[in-house]
Structure 1
């Protein structure tokens, strides 16, 4: 199969051969995650904003020229991407920022940004003629893979921590995935999945290992550029778990700079939960690598104490002159209700963590009044209803009687 790209290790720069089971650098092991690199000198001038618009597509495949999929027949038939980017005048006024835009990734087919990665991952599995696909996940990547595998008629095996939200596990089972609940945290599930993938010869969908998955996630950044009519945001806030989503944004804007479509990278701000913030700790300490450690947060999708894509995540923040922010679980819960009541976007805990980070920086006076800001909400609030219920008061229970209604509504009704 002739490829339009090459692979390059982010640590040592080696370029291993493009093969189905080549995921990381043979020299550097699991830490040696790979970039997918295109011949930008050949694409510059041929791939433009007009190229994307001329495709007529309103999904991530409008960026087909910047994606590593070989055969169009490999593309799963689900509409992914081109999610709304809402301008919120209320948030801009409240926090003293020129523009605030909210990117709602909960509008994807299985309700998270992970659908972008799974679309490309399943397509690559079919490109490489793989017979089954597998991953470890805290929930969203799992449900995403299950949905895309179902429409591609590709058997999938998914390893999730036992504490994964019931709604996410239900999605997996409905889509027909073989689900393995692992007693332990994400790191334990990841290690067991890695063993099983090697043992049974499944295609590896783990985004922090498989380089093609970040290419799917980068389409979120490409859309932001287009949706803002190429007026680049000054900062983009996004939650960080394994490090793949922020790596995808970096790759998007790096590709656009290399194509000559933009001049500079937006500042990328990664937001982690205080109880599980290994990437933020490494960034704050100026460390060359991330130290894996146990951690805990109600934001299950970013409860990753051993972020496998740490090298790309640190590069994304540092090379974009960005920052890392830590927020408490309490700040995440309050962010769920505030974002829903101001911008109308209902995000799960990990999804609104980005907003919690924006709010914290803005209140600390660390964002300029003339700045244009984008907040990426990575998953829908219905993914974790139990957490949402913790953020709100109980509903009012009444008898089917007008007098009881009047008595209990009290001064609320108006």
Structure 2
């Protein structure tokens, strides 16, 4: 009723809503430096006239505040039973102490670490797993640096689906442990993300397993739209000046942009925000594409503590760049030192422990202020995309050592008076 099919963002052709059309068969793919670049990626197309005749602010306000509050905008009828872990509905926290420290007037933090498995990926898994059930797949699989894998594993367990996840062998132990606990068939592979992605793309062909990998599975983008919906509703249907996001594949950033545009088209909001992408200086292809004007993979990349962002390519980079350009946005690099400082600020000033990949958005603010991209009076929303508990090794870089004291009154009193 609400969904028309998959539409190619390159040629505009409309195809049936079937996973075989994640990539437009007319536009196809090309290979650059051994990496697949999707020339004709598709996205879910909707009948907005029908949706607009059904939904409204009053309808949303009567529902529980989570991602499925907006189910019609995800293509689901009101009475359809769906697999869910009550994802979404995350807080929009006013970062008053960080704002004071950075000398910016209005800073808000969308804390996605409070999703069921500790990251924004749960919104995407909601869509990927429910659509796998819809199309009759017996299992789901993905390539991931960690968060997408652990999230998919949880939702597959909830749905009773087989789950296969493939991660670089250097993936955080906390994320690997999550996958194993949820019962996923977990494989660690010696190689970088893009190498594993390319091999997985071929290996899964012909199997009764849905490829749920970020940057390929087109249902994932739809889950990310719900962040935009929530931000606007949490601001009483007002729109911030800027939304800053941590980008790897770019799926998340484009999904939010699509969500903002939908609300604008339906008349829920009267303007659109500007989007900013941030990523590590040692390998952030979307930032490179924006600054260079050339949409192409990097020849190589270094290493970063932001394991979820580093890479030679973002498979949804063309869509992310589209969002940046349409919104009159920007892209900026951050160093590992910038990221560690942002982790410290977020924990010390706001009581939020986030993993390194989750704070690039905050880490970029000093540069954006200094360059004049953002005015100190602007209202800025930063995405905090994952919990620090998922990457304890990252947290150990900013943590001190505990005191070891004797069991007596004097020692405890001394500790109470220490600075």
* TM-score with structure 1 setting the length: 0.93
- Are 2:295 and 2:317, in contact at CA under 8 Å, matched by a contact in 1? no
Which of residues 50, 63, 79 is equivalent to 2:70? 63
* Deviation, structure 1 residue 39: 1.4
Out of 48, 51, 56, the position equivalent to 2:59 is 51
The Cα of 1:257 is off from its aligned counterpart by 1.5
Cα distance in 2 between the residues matched to 1:65 and 1:291: 38
1:191 pairs with 2:202: no
Can you list the C-alpha shifts for 1:358-412, whole angstroms capped at 9, x where unaligned?
23313444321321110110000001011111123222333445666778x6x96
Q: 1:256 to 1:11 in 2, by over 3 A?
A: same
Q: 2-side partners of 1:290 and 1:253: how far apart?
A: 27
Using CA pairs below 8 Å that are at least 6 residues apart, which structure has the higher relative contact order? 1
Q: Which residue of 1 aligns with 2:14?
A: 15
**147-156 or 23-32, which moves further after superposition?**
23-32
3-state SS in 2 of match to 1:21: helix
Equivalent residue for 1:211? 218
Deviates more, 1:378-387 or 1:19-28: 19-28
Q: Which residue does the alignment assign to 2:41?
A: 33
Is residue 327 from structure 1 mapped to residue 334 from structure 2 by the alignment? yes
Cα gap change, 1:364 to 1:91, in 2 (>3 Å): farther
CA contact (8 A) 1:75 1:120 kept: no
The match for 2:392 among 382, 385, 393 is 385
- Equivalent in the alignment of 1:299: 306
The more displaced of 121-130 and 22-31 is 22-31
1:248-306: CA deviation from partner (whole Å, max 9, x where unpaired):
11111111121122233201111101111111111001224444633321111112322
Contact 1:257–1:263, Cα closer than 8 Å, also in 2: yes
Q: Which residue of 2 aligns with 1:279?
A: 286
Residue 176 (structure 2) aligns with? 169
1:257 to 253, 257, 264: 264
Tell me, yes or no, if the aligned pair for 2:241 and 2:379 is still in contact at 8 Å: yes
Match of 1:118 among 118, 122, 125: 125
Q: Secondary structure at the match of 1:93?
A: helix
1:389-408 mapped onto 2 (5 Å cutoff): 389-400=396-407
Q: Which residue of 1 aligns with 2:35?
A: none
Residue 142 of structure 1 and its aligned partner are, at CA, apart by 0.1
Q: SS at 1:324's partner residue? A: strand
Q: Which residue of 2 aligns with 1:241?
A: 248
Alignment partners' CA distance in 2, 1:10 and 1:204: 20
Cα distance in 1 between the residues matched to 2:150 and 2:76: 22
- Structure 2: any 5+ residue segments left out of the alignment? 30-37
Conserved 8 A contact 1:327-1:353: yes
Q: Distance in 2 between matches of 1:364 and 1:220?
A: 28
Residue 11 of structure 1, CA deviation = 1.9
Which one of 164, 178, 184 corresponds to residue 185 of structure 2? 178
CA RMSD across the alignment: 2.1
